[in-house]
Every structure is written in C-alpha cells, then in structure tokens.
C-alpha cells in the first residue's frame, strides 16, 4: 500500500474535461501510460479493446479491475467527446455509465467502487458541461438561455450526479464514524484512513464542479446561478488552502478563480491567480493558468493586461494547447468586434488571426475543441449583429460544411448571401446561394434543393448563373416527380416551361423541350407532345448552329459523341424516334378530329423546315429524311393532302433514287412505301417500277412491316388508290409464300391476312383463295382468317365452294358468342348462302327466328341487310323462282 496514498485520480490540472493524471501501482502504471498514449493519438477503439480484453481475464485483482474499469470509462467518455455524430456520442457516453454500473453491481460493498464511482460521476459533469457549452454556443442568440428547454435535461443530469456524489459523501462520513480496525488486509482491496481522507477531498472537488456547472445552466446573476456558484465557491475555498504541491492545490485555486470571475469578483480572482507562480507549475497547469488570466482580462476589460497576455503567444515551452487556443480566439474575436465597431482597418488583421487559429484547430486539434472554436466564432458573428461580413460567414460555412454540420453551413451561407444582397452585390449573392443549394443537392434533399434553386433563378434571373440554378431546380423537382408523380409532375412541367420561356436559346433548352414532350405524351396530349419534341429538335439545331465555327467542329453533331456539353447527352435520333411514335399515335387516334387537321399541317411544315436545316447542318445523317417522312405522313394521312406530302418527300429522297441504298433499311422502306402511297394518290407511275425494284431488295423482315402497315389500311383508301397500292404491294411481297417459314409465328395471322387483301385487291382472287385456304388450315382458331376465307369462298360461283362457305359460316356462328357482331355476320352469310344454294324457305325461317329473339339484328347496318334478305326470300318463295340478287359482304 506504500504507493497507494495518492492513488486516486489526481487532478493535475482542470484542463479540457478534467483530464487526470493517475498514480497506480507500478505494474499498472505502464498500462496507464500505454492507454493515455492511445487516447492522445485518438486511437480510442484500440484503448477500448485493450481495456475490455483485459477485463475479461479472471485473474485480475480487485484494484487492477477497478483501475481498468476506470480507464475504460475515461476512454469511452473522451471518445464520445471527439465524436461528431451525436448518436454515436450518446451511445459511447451511455456505455461508460453502463460499465460503471456493472462494476457497482458486481462489487457492491467494495471500497474500490468509490474509485469507479468517482470517475463515472466526474465524467458525467464533464460531459454535461461540454454539451451545455456546445448547445449554448449553437443556440440562436436571440433565445434567452433560461428559456431553452434543452438546459432542463442537462440540469437534471447534473442534479442526479450531485445527489450521487452526496450519497458517496454520506457513505464516506459513515466510514469515518466506523471503529478503526487494525486487522485490515494490506492487499490493496481495502482502503486505509488516509486514502479515505484523500477520496473525501476529491469528492468535495467534484461536488464543487457539479454545483458550478449547474449554476452555469442559469443566466448569470440570476438567483439560481448565484446560489450554485456560492455553494461551489464554499467548497473550493477549503480545498484552495491545500498546498500547491497537493494534487488538488492548483486545480482548486483555478476553479475558485473562475467562479469568482463569473460572480463578478475580478479582484479576488486576480489575487488568487497572482498567487500561482508559473515557474512552479506543471506545463498543463501553466496552460490552464494562462487561459484563466486571459478570460479574467477579457471579463474585467483590462486591455493592457490582455495585450500583454496575447503578446506572450500561444506557445509554452514550444507547445500549444487547444484550451489556450480557444482563449486566444475569444480575445481575438473581441478585438475584431471592437475594430469593426470602430470601422478600423485592424479588423482584417484580426480576421486573419481568427482563421489561423480555426485552421490550426481543425487540422491538428482535437475535434471537440475545433468544434467549440467554430461554434464560438459562429455565435459571435451571428450574435453581435456583425453578420454583414460576407467573408467570415463564408469561412464559417465552409468549416461547418467540412465538419458535415449542414444546418450550420446553410445558415452561414444564407447570412452571407443576405449580406451580399444588402451590399448590392448580386453576383456574389447568387454564388453564395448556389453554394447553399449545393449542400442540399449533395444531401439529396430534393425538395429543399429544388426550393433553393428555384428561389435563386427567380431572384437573380438577370445573372449568368441563374440558368444553372434553373437547370438544377428542374433536376431536383424531376427527382421528386419520379417518387411522387401526382404531386410533383405538374410542378416539374411548370419548371420546364419556365425554363424554356426564360432561356429558349440555351444549351439545355432542347432537353427541357424533350422532357416536356414526354410529359405531354404521358398525359395523352399527343399533339402538344409532338410540338415539344419538334421544339426540342429546333432548339438543338439552333444551339449547335449558334456555336462558333471552331466550337461547332467539336460540337456534338453525332448524337452519341461523348462531350462535356449538355447537348452531348442529347440524342437527336432518340428524339426523332419519340416523334415518330407520337405522330403514329396521333394518326391512329386523332387524325379524324376536325380541329386536328390544321394543327397537323402546321406541324408538318415545321418538320419540313427542320429537315432542310438539318440536312444543311449534318448532310451525312439520315435525320432529314426521317423527319421528312414524318411530315409526309402527317400531310398524307392527317391533312389528306397528298400533293403537299409528295412535295415534301420529293425534296428529301436521294437523287438518283438508286443511291438510297446507303440508308438504314427501316428509313429506306418507310420512305419508299410513302412515295408509293403518294404516287398512288396522285396517279403517278413513273417511278413505280424502280421503287418496287428497290423495295424488293430490302430484306423481307423490313418489307413485312410495310405490308403490315399498308395492307391493313388498304380497305380505308379510295378504290383507285387502293388498287394501285395493292398491285405494287403484291409485287413487293411476291416472295412471301416462299419465305413464309421464316416469318415469326405471332406475326403470321395479321401478315397473312394483309397479304390476302393485297392479292384480292390486285384482282388475283385465285391466288388469294389458295393463300387463305393455307392460312385457314394453319390457324383453325383464328376467327378473322376463318371469316375472311369463308367470305371469299362465298363470293365464288362454284356451288361446292359456296357449300363449303356455308359450313364454315355455320362453324363460325357456333364458335362465336351469340349476339356478337361476328355471330350476326355469320348468321347473315348463312342465310345469304342458303338463298344462293336454293333454300330460301330455310333462310326465311332462320331470319324470322333470329328477328324474334334478337329484334335489333346486330345493329342498324346489318338489320337493314337482314331485312332486305328477308324480303328477297319472301319474294323468291312467292314467285318460286331462283335469283342471284342480294350481296355477300
């Protein structure tokens, strides 16, 4: 027990959070030095691991276990202090408390639990103090501290800690009252009287700290503040009588001096501090003394004394300490503030010094002190109405940003922006606003980012950077629209429209118009969609054309050429494809609407204009012909104007036509088939043979697409046009029966039918009949094919074929839901064929029964035909003579 006398955690100096120097048994001293080294290097996880691994051992003596437990408590608490993330901090501090409590539970009557308890409670005060300081520095300066609810929680912690310390104090008194026993073991597990006395002093010291800290949670000079400080001072007055070489001698005096300063008794505080001769103090004590002297000079406004202290510099024996750096920072801030108030040029010099300290702390100092320093500067700037200083706010914002204290960074950037606006510097204000918005952008807080960028481009619309802000606003509201289209798609659309209105010539305009086109298409506004898609192409061309010649050389003419410019991400071909799809839907669904025709004609004219410009700009691309075919289709099918359609197409078809070979096969097939269609309308046949020949050279796959499109539309065309086209198509697809096996199964029914129409309309009925016979055998369940084949059979003069037709219509009627249009058609054809086959009575009976149970007879058109057929039957029966009147479909 020889070494145990000063065994306790002896406060060498009340530095950062009361870091302690401990004297242990010689064999633990090495552990302590090792752990302290780890903590100083911020290797907290290793220190924690070391303690925890050792504590798992069963052969530890009680003192060893208590000391390691204490070290673990210190490690976890200091680690928490250094941690930025508040959740992690909380969890480390909480674990430190749990470690202590586990020790109390395991050794409830051991003397050593006092040591662990003292360490635990001491750090609770330290942690509470650190949180209070950070919160008070971070709290809005307008808010009265006494009203701040967060302080209630800290008070609660401190009160519980003070009570726990008092309980230990009472237990100690109980120990002192116990009769002295001479038989105490001397193995270190039981304390001796001197040890208890030393422990009692440390308890008094921690109680004083606890009361002082509790007092600091109240406004200065309030009743609670004064009462707590007086109680702390009372306890420290006794301890400060200890000799200076006692472990608590200097700390008690420094703590008392601070309390007296805070109570406004600068004179007594000065006396105490002057009693501490630096040369007799340890290095840590010297730093602590210097800190207190600076604060005292600040509090008592002793300018000369303060200058003298500052002139001594931040180094003592070639070393710095973060506590002293912070005290210097407080002094520099005060000087800076005064200089600004006096409009002195010195302000910049003080700013530089402030930055120097902040930078140093951020680079080298413990995170806790760096954070505290930044908070202090922030509070000074915000709280002293000096937030007009753009540079300082930016500096703070950048520091906060680097430390990932986003809200603080945003607030500082906002203050800086406001200051720049007030100082009439919109360029800087926009830059600062963009910096703040970029933080939200980085955090992927789309709504906040969108609002900020929106505010910026609206507020600074005449500034160069406003366009960038608008593009970023679009990006963020676009992300929101992805997640929640109902709420944000209309807002996204609005942003795009705003953008196009404000920067129609910009590089991004083509993208904005493209997105608008897609949105309108999504909502089914296809003509608007087509207009925007075309606007997108126009904007792109306009932008590329506006580039300087050198730039244009490297401009993204090829749609997928990588480039840093935004247009490089823009694909002309993709937009043209979108336009093809949208216009195809318009022609399919809307072209018959009377109000559409004129709009389609206008669209076609713009498309033709674009195609001309595109050809001039990029003659090697096929964009112009592709867009011209869209215009041609709109004029031909939407505006019913084959002359204009042909005129547009003629301009873009290659000359001579044979050179079309180099084009993409789809473009080639589409443009040639359109030319055929125009020629059919205009009764032109000069190029027909050449077009058919060129089309025959196209692979069957592409020709089938033409057949699908044109073949199925033939019936909608006027008879002469239909016939001309059918004749051409029959030639173009002559090899279809031979190539039939290569046609994919799912496409066969529709293609087969389209080909049968082509054959029928080109007056090749026998080929059509045999083709349909083959199809009907291949697709016995395809009602369309069965019906078409039966109809063609019915049209034949041969009785056996008509009989076959009759059987097929009976089968169709039987396999079709009663009352459906096909069922009625099959019934009609059955009756018609019965007449043709000389059985008008049966036909009549059939129609009458049908009429009795389905009086509507399949709707207006078919009902009339049924009735005519019925009249015919009645006539034939009456006259008893055969007739060939009546028509198959």
Q: At which residue do the structure tokens 């920067």 appear?
A: 503
Binder among 660, 769, 834, 873 for other proteins (CB under 8 A) = 834
Decide if residue 848 touches other proteins (CB under 8 A).
yes
**Which 3-state string (H, E, C) describes 376-437?**
HHHHHHHHCCCCCCHHHHHHHHHHHHHCCCHHHHHHHHHHHHHHHHHCCCHHHHHHHHHHHH
Whether the Cβ atoms of residue 713 and residue 721 lie closer than 8 Å to each other: no
Q: How far is the CB of 824 from other proteins (least distance, A)?
A: 11
Shortest distance, CB of residue 870 to other proteins, whole angstroms? 12
Q: Indicate whether 794 belongs to the interface with other proteins (CB under 8 A).
A: no
Distance in Å, CB of 639 to other proteins, minimum: 45
In angstroms, give the least distance from the CB of 874 to other proteins: 13
Member of 819, 821, 838, 859 binding other proteins (CB under 8 A): 819
Phi and psi angles of residue 132, each rounded to the nearest 5 degrees, phi first: -60, -45
Q: Could you tell me if 652 and 625 are in contact, meaning their C-beta atoms sit under 8 angstroms apart?
A: yes
CA-based nearest residue to 16, from 126, 155, 93 = 126
Give the pair of three-digit tokens for residue 566: 């935004």
User: Is 9 or 850 the residue whose CB approaches other proteins more closely?
Assistant: 850
Q: Please tell me whether residue 780 binds other proteins under the rule CB under 8 A.
A: no
Interface region with other proteins, contact rule CB under 8 A, candidates 54-62, 660-668, 726-734, 851-859: 851-859
Q: Which residues are registered as beta bridge partners of 316? A: 319
Q: Please choose, out of 439-447, 737-745, 760-768, 848-856, the segment that lies near other proteins by the rule CB under 8 A.
A: 848-856
Contact flag: residue 689 with other proteins (CB under 8 A) = no
Backbone angles phi, psi at 857, to 5 degrees: 50, 45
Backbone torsion region of residue 385, taken as left when φ is above 0, otherwise alpha when ψ lies between -120 and 50, otherwise beta: left
Which of 637, 825, 827, 870 touches other proteins by CB under 8 A? 827
As measured in angstroms, the least distance from the Cβ of 845 to other proteins is 5
Cα dihedral angle (362, 363, 366, 369), rounded to 10 degrees? -30
Binders of other proteins among residues 422 to 481 (CB under 8 A) are none
Residue 853 as a binder of other proteins (CB under 8 A): the answer is yes
Contact region with other proteins (CB under 8 A), list: 253-261, 465-473, 554-562, 839-847: 839-847
Residue 822 sits in the site that holds other proteins (CB under 8 A): no
854 binds other proteins (CB under 8 A): yes
Nearer to other proteins, 753 or 844 (CB): 844
Instruction: Return the CA Rg of the chain.
Output: 47
Residue pair 19/283 in contact (Cβ under 8 Å)? The answer is no
Q: Residue 849 interacts with other proteins (CB under 8 A)?
A: yes
Q: Are the C-beta atoms of residues 629 and 674 closer than 8 Å to each other?
A: yes
Segment contacting other proteins by CB under 8 A, of 187-195, 340-348, 587-595, 817-825: 817-825
Contacts 24+ apart (CB under 8 A), 2-5: 4/188, 4/192, 4/195, 5/194, 5/195, 5/198
Judged by beta carbon, residue 524 or residue 819, the one nearer other proteins is: 819
The verdict on 845 binding other proteins (CB under 8 A) reads: yes
By CB under 8 A, name the one of 830, 858, 865, 870 that touches other proteins.
Answer: 830
Site for other proteins (CB under 8 A): how many residues?
A: 18
The residue within the footprint of other proteins, chosen from 246, 518, 731, 810 (CB under 8 A), is 810
- For helices 113-138 and 86-106, angle between their N-to-C axes, nearest 10 degrees: 160
> Which residues pair with residue 22 across a beta bridge?
9
- Specify the residue, 512 or 843, whose C-beta has the smaller distance to other proteins: 843
Token pair for 867: 């009735």
Q: Does position 877 bind other proteins by CB under 8 A?
A: no
Both tokens of 186, joined, read 């001397």
- Which one of 177-185, 666-674, 724-732, 840-848 is the stretch in contact with other proteins (CB under 8 A)? 840-848
Min dist CB 718 to other proteins, Å, is: 37
> For residues 612 and 842, which CB has a smaller minimum distance to other proteins in the complex?
842
Q: Please, are residues 539 and 513 in contact by the beta-carbon 8 Å criterion?
A: yes
Residue 317 CB neighbour total at 10 angstroms: 7
Binding-site member from 167, 483, 650, 818 for other proteins (CB under 8 A): 818
Q: Among 8, 766, 40, 83, which Cα is nearest to 403's? A: 83
Residue among 770 and 820 whose Cβ is closer to other proteins? 820
Binding site for other proteins (CB under 8 A): 810, 814, 817-819, 827, 830-831, 834, 842, 845-846, 848-850, 852-854
């Amino acid at each position: 027990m020889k070494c145990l006398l000063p065994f306790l955690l002896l406060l060498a100096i009340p530095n950062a959070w009361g870091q302690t120097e401990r004297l242990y048994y010689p064999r633990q001293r090495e552990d302590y030095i090792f752990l302290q080294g780890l903590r100083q290097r911020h290797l907290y996880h290793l220190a924690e691991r070391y303690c925890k691994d050792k504590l798992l051992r069963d052969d530890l003596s009680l003192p060893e276990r208590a000391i390691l437990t204490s070290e673990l408590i210190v490690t976890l608490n200091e680690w928490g202090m250094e941690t930025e993330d508040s959740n992690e901090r909380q969890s480390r501090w909480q674990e430190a408390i749990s470690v202590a409590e586990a020790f109390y539970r395991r050794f409830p009557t051991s003397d050593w639990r006092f040591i662990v308890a003292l360490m635990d409670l001491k750090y609770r005060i330290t942690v509470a103090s650190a949180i209070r300081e950070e919160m008070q520095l971070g709290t809005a300066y307008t808010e009265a501290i006494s009203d701040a609810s967060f302080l209630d929680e800290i008070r609660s912690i401190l009160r519980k800690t003070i009570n726990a310390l008092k309980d230990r104090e009472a237990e100690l008194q109980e120990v002192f009252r116990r009769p002295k026993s001479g038989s105490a073991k001397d193995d270190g597990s039981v304390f001796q009287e001197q040890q208890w006395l030393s422990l009692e002093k440390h308890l008094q010291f921690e109680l004083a700290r606890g009361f002082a800290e509790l007092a600091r949670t109240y406004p200065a000079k309030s009743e609670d503040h004064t009462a707590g400080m007086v109680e702390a001072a009372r306890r420290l007055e006794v301890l400060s009588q200890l000799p200076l070489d006692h472990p608590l001698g200097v700390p008690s005096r420094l703590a008392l001096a601070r309390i007296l300063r805070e109570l406004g008794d600068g004179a007594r505080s000065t006396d105490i501090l002057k009693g501490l001769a630096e040369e007799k103090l340890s290095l840590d004590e010297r730093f602590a003394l210097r800190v207190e002297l600076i604060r005292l000079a600040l509090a008592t406004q002793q300018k000369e004394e303060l200058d003298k202290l500052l002139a001594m510099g931040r180094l003592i024996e070639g070393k710095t300490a973060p506590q002293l750096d912070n005290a210097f920072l407080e002094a520099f801030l005060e000087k800076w503030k005064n200089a600004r108030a006096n409009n002195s040029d010195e302000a910049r010099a003080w700013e530089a010094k402030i930055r120097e300290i902040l930078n140093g702390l951020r680079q080298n100092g413990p995170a806790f002190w760096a954070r505290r320093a930044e908070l202090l500067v922030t509070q000074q700037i915000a709280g002293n109405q000096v937030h007009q200083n753009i540079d300082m706010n930016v500096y703070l914002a950048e520091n906060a940003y680097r430390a990932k204290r986003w809200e603080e960074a945003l607030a500082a950037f906002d203050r800086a922006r406001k200051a720049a606006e007030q100082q009439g510097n919109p360029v800087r204000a926009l830059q600062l606003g963009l910096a703040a918005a970029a933080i939200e952008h980085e955090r992927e807080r789309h709504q906040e980012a969108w609002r900020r960028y929106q505010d910026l481009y609206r507020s600074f619309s005449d500034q160069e950077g406003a366009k960038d802000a608008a593009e970023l606003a679009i990006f963020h509201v676009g992300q929101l629209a992805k997640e929640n289209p109902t709420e944000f798609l209309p807002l996204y659309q609005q942003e795009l429209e705003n953008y196009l209105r404000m920067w129609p010539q910009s590089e991004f305009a083509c993208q904005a118009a493209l997105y608008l086109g897609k949105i309108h298409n999504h909502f089914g506004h296809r003509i608007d969609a087509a207009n925007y898609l075309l606007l997108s192409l126009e904007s792109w061309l306009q932008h590329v054309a506006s580039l300087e010649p050198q730039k244009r050389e490297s401009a993204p003419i090829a749609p997928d050429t990588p480039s840093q410019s935004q247009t490089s991400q823009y694909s002309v071909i993709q937009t043209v494809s979108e336009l093809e799809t949208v216009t195809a839907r318009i022609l399919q669904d809307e072209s018959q609407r009377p109000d559409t025709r004129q709009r389609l004609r206008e669209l076609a004219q713009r498309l033709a204009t674009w195609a001309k410009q595109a050809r001039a700009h990029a003659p090697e691309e096929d964009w112009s012909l592709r867009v011209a075919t869209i215009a041609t289709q709109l004029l031909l099918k939407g505006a019913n104007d084959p002359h204009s359609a042909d005129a547009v197409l003629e301009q873009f078809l290659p000359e001579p036509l044979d050179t079309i070979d180099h084009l993409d096969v789809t473009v080639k097939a589409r443009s040639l088939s359109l030319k055929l269609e125009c020629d059919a309308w205009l009764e032109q046949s000069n190029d027909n043979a050449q077009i058919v020949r060129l089309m025959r050279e196209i692979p069957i796959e592409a020709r089938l697409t033409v057949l699908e499109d044109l073949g199925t539309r033939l019936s909608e065309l006027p008879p002469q046009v239909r016939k001309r086209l059918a004749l051409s198509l029959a030639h173009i697809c002559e090899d279809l029966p031979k190539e039939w096996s290569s046609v994919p199964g799912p496409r066969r029914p529709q293609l087969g039918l389209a080909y049968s129409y082509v054959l029928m309309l080109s007056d090749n009925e026998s080929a059509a009949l045999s083709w349909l016979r083959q199809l009907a055998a291949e697709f016995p369940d395809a009602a369309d094919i069965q019906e078409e084949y039966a109809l063609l059979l019915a049209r034949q003069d041969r009785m056996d074929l008509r009989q076959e037709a009759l059987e097929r219509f009976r089968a169709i009627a039987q396999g079709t839901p009663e009352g459906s249009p096909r069922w009625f058609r099959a019934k009609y054809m059955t009756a018609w064929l019965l007449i043709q086959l000389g059985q008008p009575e049966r036909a009549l009976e059939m129609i009458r029964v049908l009429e009795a149970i389905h009086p509507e007879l399949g709707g207006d058109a078919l009902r009339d035909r049924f009735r005519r057929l019925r009249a015919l039957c009645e006539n034939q029966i009456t006259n008893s003579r055969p007739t060939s009147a009546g028509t198959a479909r």
